[in-house]
Amino acid sequence: MRPGTADNLAYLYGLEASSMEFKARVHHLPEQASVIFFSLRTRDLLYKGAGDGPPFRAAVRVTYEAYSDWNARTLLDSASTLVHDTRDGPGSDQELIGRMDLRRNERSSFVLRITAHDLNRNARSTVLIDVDHADGGVRQDFLPMERDRDLPYFDDHFGGPTSLRIHCPRYAGRALLAAHHPLDQRLPTPVFTDQAGPGPEIVPDSSFTVQVDAHGDLLLDLVRPGCYHLRPDSARSDGYSLFVLDTGHPYVADAQGMVPALRYITSMQEFDRIRSAEDVRKAVERFWLDAAGDRERARAAIRAYYGRVESANRYFTSYVEGWRTDRGLVHIIFGTPTSIHRTTRGEVWTYGEESNLMSTSFTFIRRSSPFTANDLVLERDPLLKGAWYRNVESWRNGRVLQN
C-alpha cells in the first residue's frame, strides 16, 4: 500500500504502532550511499520453539519501499531483510538493531515506507520517512551514536543531559557552526482560536564551533535543556538539531511531570492551585478522583490521559515536547483519529466517517523550520469550539471517549 493521500495512516499513531515498537532512521554517507538503521524490542516479538523446549526463535521481515512523493502510485525501489533472533527462554527486554543499504534515488527527495513484520504472530509496525537528498538537505548527514559503542540513537530528543558522538563523515575535518536555543515553554492556543501560536525563537542564547575529526566524528556534551543546532556554514539556516527536554522524556516521570498537561482540561484557577500545592501528588490525585467519582475510574482516566501524553511525546515532538504541539493537543483530548491522510503539505485527521457531516476534522499544515521537519500547525476554526468543550467536559467527568 503506497503512503499517499488515499491511504488511511491512522495506524501510525494507533494500536498497531503501540503493539510493536519499531524505530528507523536514514543516514547519508559520502558518495551517494545511504543506510537505513532500524530497532526492535525483544519484548514485542513472538519466540517459537521447534519442540517443547528451547531454543526459541523470532523472525521479523523488515521491508522498505520508496516513492517519489506522497501522491505517487509507482514504486521506485524496494528491498527487504530477514531478522532472526534466538533465545533459550524468557529474559530481560533487549534492543535488536539492524541496518539495510538504501539505494538512493536521483530525485532531490523521496518518501520511504519501512515496515517490520513479525512472521510468528503476524504483527506489523510501520515508519514513514521523508528522505532528503545529500545535496538538498543536511539533517540526515548526521547520525547520533553512543559515545563508546557503534550503536545509533533513533531519536534526536533526550530526557536530560547526555554526552554522545555524532557521525557525519561528509564533514570530516571541518569545523561546524553550533548554537544553543533555550526550551520553549509555551502551550498551543485552543483549537477554536483565531490563530496559532508563534513558531520557535530563532535567536540563540549562545554560539560556538565544533570540530569534526578526520574519521567524521564529533563529540558533543548536551548539558543545558534546549536545542543544539549544527550548521555546515553561515549561508544556510537549516542544519541538524538535538534537543535536551524534561527529565524522563518521553515518559511522565513523576507527579510534578503530571501537572503541565492538566492545563488543557483545567481552568487557570484550578491549574494554579494544583501547581502551587504543598503536596503536588495529592493535588493531582484529588483532581482525578473528583472528576471520576471513585478510585477505579480515576486510575483508568489517569492511565488513559497520561498514556496519550507519552504517545504524543513519541510521535509529535519537534522543537518542543510532543504534548505541547498542536497534534499533541488534539491527540490528548480527542484520541487517535478514525482516519489520517498525509500529503507534502501536512495531515488531515478525521474523527468519524469521512463523508459524514457530523464528523470532526483537523487540518495540520507543515511549518518550515530550521530545527525539525516534524512541526505541523493546526488550521484553527471557531466551529471546533463545541467539539472541544464536549471532549474536555468528558475528561472532567472521568469519561474516556476512546483509547
CA 16 to mean position of chain CA atoms = 15
Three-point CA angle 317, 3, 10, nearest 5°? 55
The answer to whether residue 146 is domain-embedded is no
C-alpha cell at 74: 509507482
195/278 same-domain check: yes
Q: Which long-range contacts (CB under 8 A, 24 or more apart) does 23-27 make?
A: 23/127, 23/154, 23/155, 24/114, 24/127, 24/129, 24/154, 25/129, 25/140, 25/143, 25/152, 25/154, 26/102, 26/112, 26/129, 26/131, 26/140, 27/140, 27/141, 27/142, 27/143, 27/152, 27/167
Distance (Å, whole) CA 142 – CA 241 = 9
Q: Is the peptide bond before 161 cis (omega within 30 degrees of 0)?
A: no
Q: Do residues 179 and 152 make contact, with C-beta atoms less than 8 angstroms apart? A: no
pLDDT tens digits in sequence order for the chain, 403 residues long = 455 455 888 888 876 666 789 999 999 988 778 999 999 999 999 999 887 778 899 999 999 999 988 877 789 899 999 999 998 877 778 999 999 999 876 656 889 999 999 999 999 999 999 998 645 568 999 999 999 999 999 999 999 999 999 999 999 999 999 999 999 888 999 999 987 767 777 789 999 999 999 999 999 999 999 999 999 988 888 899 999 998 889 999 899 999 999 999 999 999 999 999 999 999 999 999 999 888 999 999 999 999 999 999 999 999 999 999 999 999 999 999 999 998 888 999 999 998 888 899 999 999 988 899 899 999 999 999 999 999 999 999 887 755 4
Statement to judge: residues 365 and 234 lie in one domain: yes
Considering the domain architecture, whether residues 126 and 18 belong to the same structural domain is answered as yes
Q: Is the same domain home to 128 and 234?
A: no
Q: Is residue 151 part of a domain?
A: no
| 390 falls within a domain | yes
Side-chain half-sphere CA neighbours of 23 within 13 A: 13
For 84, the enclosing helix (H) or strand (E) is strand 75-87
Cα 317 from chain centroid (whole Å)? 5
Number of structural domains (the chain) is 2
57 and 169 share one domain: no
Helix (H) or strand (E) holding 389: helix 385-396
Separation of alpha carbons 313 and 300, rounded Å: 20
Residue 144 lies in a domain: no
Residue 5 lies in a domain: yes
Q: How many CA atoms lie within 13 A of 14 on its CB side?
A: 14
* CA gap 32, 30 in Å, rounded: 6
Retrieve residue 367's grid coordinates: 511549518
Q: Helices marked H in 14-99 — which ranges?
A: 15-19
pLDDT for the residue 330: 97
Q: Check whether residue 88 and residue 180 sit in a common domain.
A: no
Asked, for residue 147, whether it belongs to a domain, the answer is no
For 282, the 3-state DSSP assignment is: helix
Say whether both 69 and 172 belong to one domain: no
Per DSSP, helices labelled H in 211-361 are 255-258, 268-275, 280-292, 295-316, 326-334
Instruction: Give the pLDDT score at 402.
Output: 54
* Any domain includes 202: yes
Exposure of 47 in the CB half-sphere (CA atoms within 13 A): 19
225 close to 183: Cβ distance less than 8 angstroms: yes
CA–CA separation, 202 and 36 (whole Å): 31
Q: 205 and 282, same structural domain?
A: yes
C-alpha cell at 104: 538512493
State the pLDDT at residue 403.
Answer: 45
Distance CA 252, CA 272 (A): 19
219 and 360, same domain (yes or no): yes
Residues 203 and 314 in one domain: yes
**Residue 135, pLDDT score:** 53
The one-letter amino acid at 147: R
Residue 60, domain member (yes or no): yes
Does residue 217 share a domain with residue 125? no
The DSSP 8-state label assigned to residue 22 in this structure reads E
Q: 11: domain CATH number?
A: 2.60.40.10
* Cα–Cα nearest to 104, from 140, 128, 77, 80: 77
Nearest to 339 by CA among 1, 22, 21, 14: 14
Regarding whether 68 and 211 lie in a shared domain, the answer is: no
Containing structural domain, residue 389? 161-403
